[in-house]
Structure 1
Amino acid sequence: MAHLDHAAIFSPSVARIAASTAKDWSFVDTWLASKFPGRAAPSFERNPDTLRVLLSLATLNETADEERQLFARAEASARRELSQAADRGADHASMQSDLLEAIEEALPQDGRNALDALASLSVDLGNPQPTPHELGVTLVQLQAQAQETEERRARLTDLQSHVDAEKIAIADLLRDLQGWKFKPSAELPRQNVELQRKIKALSNKLPELEDRLKAIDTAPAAFHPTIDQIAREESAYRSLLNRKMDLDSQIAPFAGLPHDADAARDQLEALRSELQSLTRRRDAVFESLVERESPRKRS
């Protein structure tokens, strides 16, 4: 304790702090010596700040070393367990292989053929562990796909036949058009000139037609009646029609009269006189019939 001052010797609290500091420096020196085996540690200033930093670093380093050791032990344990599991799996696989070989040797020839067929089918389907249901469903699906493929092939064959026939017809037409027998119509130049004249005339009329179209666009919109309005108009029309029929029935008896009122009046008087004459004749005839048919009075 020669490096301690007199206050540290005679003060218990200072003495405890000094002892704790010396213990910390001893821990740091030991840790540095373990990190630099066989050679001296780098020189540095020994003060409280350096001590605090080195203590934190040493603590973190020891914690990291402990975690690394734990990871190493866990990894070694996992490797041992995996190795044991692999050994057990190898033993199980070997036993399973022996059992399968024994079953295969005990099968009859038909059973072996069926087993080989199932194995080949499983390989073709890419399913290492199929069930009979899965194999049946897959076979049905494959059969449906094969049928659909066959139908498509037949349709494509028909389409190819039509395409080939059209190709031959087009080739024949092209050969005829390119041959010396094909000649354009003599009326073709005149028709061309006529078409150009019509096009020019229509082009000249185009501004006028555009003006008409603009005038139509700017014209007031046409009246579009509603259903209620149409119903009201129809009802009014029917009323007028009934009134006309009424008047026609009233005028019908006077249809044969002249248009002049005096002449019509004279004709009406003549008809009335004729009616009266006919009425008198009817009455006379009736009276004569009554007298003739009635019994004669006894004299």
Structure 2
Amino acid sequence: MDGDADWAASALFSPSKARIAQAQARDWGFVEAWLAKRYSGKRIPPFERNDETLEALLTLATLNEGADEQRVVVDRVEQAALFDFEKQRSGPSEDVYQALARFLDHRGDESLNALAQATLALNAPATATISDLAISSIDLQTEHFDLSQQQARLKDQVTALQREANRLRCLLREIDDDAFKAAAELPEQTVEWHKSSKHLKAKIGEYDDRLSASRAVGIPQPTVEQVAQQLEEFHAQQLRLATLEAELEAYQSLPTNAREARAILERSRDELRVLSQRRDRLFEGLVPSG
């Protein structure tokens, strides 16, 4: 009872488990009904109830029901054939058969019965010859071989289907675990991803429009005169750059501090003034006075 309560509680929270349990309950009901009919109302012996036992009993019950149906059909055919045979023997042919049977020994009687049974088994007409019976026998053996091959293939297919069904049942039990259930925040993430995808689609459309517009405008092609003018301007800028670099090179030795640089510049000016005065005196000494 506790197991039934646990099953009911889990079925309320897992529809897949409920469907599996419901299918198993139907299968167990079919098996129990078949066992009750086999035991003719007697108490069914206890046995272990699991998936393997259920599968084996279902296969056995299905095969047994099919065999019972085939046996009923065979009984009906035999009864109909016996009725037709009795009906045919009630005519004048019965007198011929009795007269012929009186002149046959034991071996001849066995041969006649074998011939009659072969004619009935092959469903041959009464006027069939030995050659006709031989041909019918070969055809029947060929058909029997074909049917036996089909039966073997069908058994292999049934075995493969049963194996695949067992694998799918195990897989269903595995994916019914909590590890395969969706996270609680998945709906919110899905909505957020949907919004982001819409925003990105709009941006893609905007960028496509901008790209199409830029392609429509095109790139201007300069003339030869414009290229020559830009080349002259480039050379002039190169000369200006060389001049500025030469002017800046004189200031490379100066410190980065403005006050220190100014002090060095004043000392350099004083030295320049002293050197200029010295140069002037030397120049005056070279010039004769009068």
Structure 1 length as normaliser, TM-score? 0.31
Larger radius of gyration: 1
Structure 2 length as normaliser, TM-score? 0.32
